[in-house]
Amino acid sequence: MSEKKDSNLSDRWILSHRGAKNRVYPARPYAWLVEKERTVCGDVEDTGIIFLTNMECPFHCLMCDLWKNTTDEPVPQGAIASQIEWALEKMPGVRHLKLYNSGSFFDERAIPENDYERIASLVSSMETLIVECHPRLVSEKCLRFRDILKPDLHIALGLETVNPDILQKLNKKMTPEDFAGSVNYLTANGILSRAFILLRPPFLSESEGIYWAERSLDFAFDAGVECCTVIPVRGGNGAMEELMKSGHFTIPEITSLEKVLEYGIGLGKGRVFADTWDLGLFSKCDMCLDNRIERITQMNLRQEIFPQVECSCDVDKSLF
């Protein structure tokens, strides 16, 4: 891949390296689960997550693989609410809910505003409701949805990185200032926000990946978010595999995720979580993997820095 191509990764290039989508059904979410999460008030409680089936996001970010479980056309009116109703029956007693839709909740072609009333009714027993949205789609629709909800509305926004060159290469179609403006708008209107931050996106070394993840945490909290989730970047969408072949992307190490999580918690500015999905992918040592996963999990839940895992794999590489 040429240097020129690196700095101008387009929708067309990204889409050209995709494989096939998974088979999904508009009447059902493509996945759901219940996990423990530390809440705003400091309690560790069950949190339900419903992965809604809907139309693909209009933004084609370089690292994203969420398109795999989306439709090519808008789902029928009422389908989103029906998916939520179906999944909630599987998670009785849950008081906190995330509605993740592989894109933006406030994208009209993904979640029709005509469905808001029924969705609000279905989640009326919740204490908090978390949805996701691209910063550029934050608007008065967020306020209209908030106004009909009983639970507190939180909105998760993808900051990804504050490195301006990398953010442009990710094809995010926004700037850090766009993110900050959206957070300010939500904060001014009484809506808490959280940020998704990437650990080692393409075109960065391991040390650079750590550095920019930490700077992104700084920026997000300074902008006013209440919570950040650090996501180690993985492959799996076609485009990332092409970047791996050309030497422009390598997945981060689990120890780097630990370092960034420690840094974020140490700031004391808000909750910081590390994404624990498929962490084995980021480990080169089977001997300490389980202990590292447990350490990350406990730091997520307790928001305290736990003693580091000791393992022979930590021997300074300079000795070799």
Q: Are 102 and 132 in contact (CB under 8 A)?
A: no
Radius of gyration of the chain (CA): 19
Can you give the pTM of this predicted structure? 0.95
Give the Cα separation of 199 and 296 in Å (integer). Answer: 15
- What percentage of the chain has pLDDT greater than the value 90? 95
Q: Which domains does the chain have, with CATH numbers?
A: 21-306 (3.20.20.70)
User: Could you please report the per-residue DSSP string of 86-125?
Assistant: HHHTTSTT--EEEEE-SS-TT-TTTS-GGGHHHHHHHTTT
The string of pLDDT tens digits covering residues 182-238 is 999 999 999 999 999 999 999 999 999 999 999 999 999 999 999 999 999 999 999
The string of pLDDT tens digits covering residues 143-182 is 999 999 999 999 999 999 999 999 999 999 999 999 999 9
